Amino acid sequence: MRSELMAESISAQIKERETILDVGLVIFIQPKGSPKNIRYKTAVVGWKTDYLVIIDMPILNGAYVNLVEGSSCIVRYIHCGDAYGFETKVIKNINDARLPLIYLSYPKSVEKISLRQHPRIQTRIPVQIEVAVEEEKRREVRGNILDLSVGGCLLEIEGAASQKVDLDINQRLKLVFTLKNSAECVVEIFAMIKRVQKTPNNIMAGAQFVDLSPDNFEKIRHFCESLTYK
C-alpha cells in the first residue's frame, strides 16, 4: 500500500513538472556563478521527462553560444502568469549548422512564484465587448472569457477580422457578461488591455479590470471561489 502511494506521489510530481514546459516556451538561461546580467534568451524545443530538456542554442551578437558541458545553469521563465526557475546542468552542445541545440538535464525540482495578486480560474463565458473604433464611436463585438479573477481576465475574440475589430495594449474596453452560479448576475465592467496575441482570424488579450466597484468585486470573487472550492 505504501509503495502504491509513493508511486502515485511520484507520478503526480512528474505530471506537475510536465505541465510547466511548452514547446516554443521562451526561457532565460544563466550560467551559475556568472554576473546577473549574463542571461541568454532562447526557447524550449522539447524534453524527455526525468532525462533531458532540449533548447535552441542561444545567439549573442549574431553568433551561437556554446555553454560549458557539465556546468550548472539557472533557467527562468514566465508561464501562464507565474514565474518559474530551476537549476540544471549542460549535458551537450549540438553544433549542427541546420539545427544547433543544447541538451540540459531535466529539473529535479522547480520553484514557482505567482505573479498574480488573485489566482485565476479557467472558464468559457460569453462576453459582449464594447471597443472604441474612432473618437466618440464604439463597436460591440462578441467574445469569450477564458480565465477570470477579481483582477482581470483573458479575452478571446473569434473571427476578429469579420467582426472588424482590433485591440491594442492600453486600450480601454467595456465588458458585459453573465456569471451563472446559484443565481445569475450580470457584470458590467471596464478593463484595460495589458497584452495581446493576434492571428489572422482571432485575438487573445489579457485585460486588467479598472475602477472595479465593490459590487462587481463581490460578484466575481464569489463566482471564482464557488468554482475553486467545489
pLDDT tens, residue by residue, 185-201: 899 999 999 999 888 78
Tell me: pLDDT of 22 over 80: yes
Write down the pLDDT at residue 182. 62
Tell me: pLDDT of 11 over 70: no
Cell numbers placing 229 = 472550492
Helix (H) or strand (E) holding 18: helix 2-19
Cell numbers placing 151 = 483582477
| Structural domains in the chain, sorted by start | 18-114 (2.30.110.10), 121-229 (2.40.10.220)
pLDDT tens, residue by residue, 103-147: 999 999 888 876 566 677 899 999 999 987 666 677 888 999 999
Write down the pLDDT at residue 115. 58
Tell me: pLDDT of 9 over 90: no
Q: CB under 8 Å to 147, separation ≥6 — which residues? A: 120, 121, 122, 123, 153, 154
Average pLDDT of the residues of the chain? 82
Cβ atoms 110, 154 nearer than 8 A: no
Beta strands in the chain (DSSP E): 26-31, 40-48, 52-56, 59-60, 63-64, 72-79, 82-94, 101-105, 111-114, 121-134, 137-148, 152-157, 172-180, 184-198, 203-210
Cβ atoms 208, 150 nearer than 8 A: no
CA distance 213 to 47: 45
Beta strand 52-56 pairing with 40-48: antiparallel
Tell me: pLDDT of 7 over 50: no
pLDDT tens, residue by residue, 29-40: 999 888 766 889
DSSP string, 179-205: EESSSEEEEEEEEEEEEEEE-SS-EEE
Tell me: pLDDT of 60 over 80: yes
Write down the pLDDT at residue 126. 95
Cell numbers placing 93 = 552542445
Name the nearest CA neighbour of 127 among 142, 146, 140, 149: 142
Write down the pLDDT at residue 230. 54
